[in-house]
Structure 1
Amino acid sequence: MSDDAAGHAGDDAPEDDGAAVPAIRRVAGTGVPLRGDDIDTDQILPARFLKAVTFDDMGEYAFYDQRRDADGELNEHPFNEYQGANVLAVNDNFGCGSSREHAPQGLMRWGVEAIVGESFAEIFQDNCKSLGIATLAVDHGDAVDLQDFIEANPDAGIEVDVREETVRYDGKTVEGDVPDAMREALLEGIWDTTAVMRTNLDRAKEVNDSLPYTDD
C-alpha cells in the first residue's frame, strides 16, 4: 500500500492546499516477480482490449494472453500466482513498444503500486508517473536477487521508498534511481495533473481571465 495514499503523509510532506492528489512517499506490501527482458506493452495489455470505453476493467486484461494456456485456462503466470501483491519486480527495458496508456492502467488496476526493475521504457515510465505508480531502477543483480527473494518468500514485506530511492526487504536496503520528475511529482502530490487542475478551477479561471488573448 502506498504510504500517503492511505492518508499518512511524510514527516516533511507539503501542506494540503486543497488538492485531492495524495503525495506518495513510499509503497509497502508484497511482491510479484516477473522475469524477462523487453516485456512490451502489447504483452502487458493486448491491443484488442484498447477498444474499451473506460479503463475500469483493465486490471483483468493485464497479461491476458500470457496468463492462459492453449485451452484458455489460467496457468502459473506470476499474475495468477501472486494475487494481492503490489510491488512488481521486473528486468530490463520493461514497458517497451507502443506508448499505450492502457498498459500501466492495467497494471495499476490489477494492484501494482510500484515497480522495481533494471530499466524502463521512457514513455511507459512517464505514463506510470501520471498514475502515481513509482518506478525504481536497480542494478541487474539487485533485480534478480529481489525476484529470487519474492519467489522464496511470497508473503514477505517489501518497501519502496520514493524519497530515499531505495527498496527494502529481508533486513537490507538496496539503492536505486527514481527519475527526478517522477520523484518530485509523487512527493509533492502533483502527479495527477488533471485532478490538480480540477481542484484549482478558480485559480485557473483567474489566470484565464487575466490573459489578453482569451475570450470572456
Structure 2
Amino acid sequence: MSPVSQIVARGIPLPGDDIDTDRIIPARFLRCVTFDGLGEHAFEDDRAQDASHPFDDAKYADGGLLVTGNNFGCGSSREHAPQSLMRAGVRAIIAGSFAEIFAGNCTNLGVACATATPEVRSELIRLIQADPTAEATLDLEALTVTISGETYPVAMADGARDALLTGQYDFLAQLLEAAPEVAEAGQKVPYLSGFKA
C-alpha cells in the first residue's frame, strides 16, 4: 500500500452533471469475471453517440485527472465504474459532488475524488482545453490543484483523504498483510476452529 499525497497528470475535461455509472460503464460489461479490459469500454455508449467525446480525443489520450460536474457516479453502485476509469488511466477526479458509494469505491482503488466550486471547475476545463499537454498537480495535503501556473482550492472527505495520505485505502491489501493475525483469530472462533464453545 503506497501513500498518495500528490497526483500529477494531464487533464480530461468532461462537463456535465449527473453522469451515472451506467454511462461510465454500460451494463452489458458487468458480466466480466475480472475487471481486466474494462478501461477500453469507459463511456462506450457516450463515445458512440459523440465523436468528439474526450475519451476518444487524441489530445486527452494520456490524461489522468478528470474534471467534471455535479453528482458524478450517481446511479447503481457498481464497482465496475471506478474500475473502468482507473483502467483507462484516470487517477483523480475533480467534480462538484460525487455519489457516496462511487467515491468510496474510487478511494478503495487509490483514485482521489476531490470537489471544487463551479468557478474553479470551469477555469480548470478552460485551461485544460487551452493546453491539453499541461500537467496538473492535485495536492491532497494542501487541498489544491495547480495547472498552467495557477492554483485553486479543492476539498475532499476527511476519511478518504486520510486513507490516501496514509496508504490505508486498500482494504484487501490490509487484510492480506494481516493474514497471520486473521488466521490466529480464526482459530479462536468456535464455528471456524471446530472447537466447542
> Same fold, TM exceeding 0.5?
yes
SS at match of 1:177: coil
- Indicate the residue corresponding to 2:2 in structure 1: 22
SS at match of 1:67: helix
Correspondence list, 1:163-202, <5 A: 163-202=141-180
Matched, 1:138 2:116: yes
Matched, 1:34 2:14: yes
- Indicate the residue corresponding to 1:75 in structure 2: 51
Per-residue Cα deviation, 1:52-104 (whole angstroms, up to 9, x for no partner)? 111001101100011124xxxx8211011111110000111111111111000
For the residues of structure 2 that align with 1:164 and 1:24, how far apart are their CA atoms? 13
Per-residue Cα deviation, 1:141-177 (whole angstroms, up to 9, x for no partner)? 1011101110111000101111222111122221111
TM-score by length of 1: 0.84
SS at match of 1:66: helix
For the residues of structure 2 that align with 1:134 and 1:212, how far apart are their CA atoms? 40
Correspondence list, 1:65-104, <5 A: 65-69=45-49, 75-81=51-57, 82-104=60-82
Per-residue Cα deviation, 1:22-61 (whole angstroms, up to 9, x for no partner)? 1111100100000101111110000011011110011011
Counterpart residue identity of residue 30, structure 1: R
- Indicate the residue corresponding to 1:4 in structure 2: none
Counterpart residue identity of residue 80, structure 1: D
Stretches of structure 2 lacking an aligned partner (at least 5 in a row): none
SS at match of 1:50: helix
- Sequence identity percentage: 43
1:213 is displaced (CA, Å) by 6.6
Correspondence list, 1:87-166, <5 A: 87-166=65-144
Instruction: Looking at secondary structure, tell me which structure has more helix per residue.
Output: 2
TM-score by length of 2: 0.92
Instruction: Choose from 28, 34, 49 the match for 2:29.
Output: 49
**Corresponding pairs, count:** 192
Counterpart residue identity of residue 104, structure 2: D
Which 10-residue stretch deviates more, 112-121 or 203-212?
203-212
1:206 is displaced (CA, Å) by 2.8
SS at match of 1:65: helix
Stretches of structure 1 lacking an aligned partner (at least 5 in a row): 1-20
- Indicate the residue corresponding to 1:5 in structure 2: none
For the residues of structure 2 that align with 1:105 and 1:168, how far apart are their CA atoms? 26
SS at match of 1:29: strand
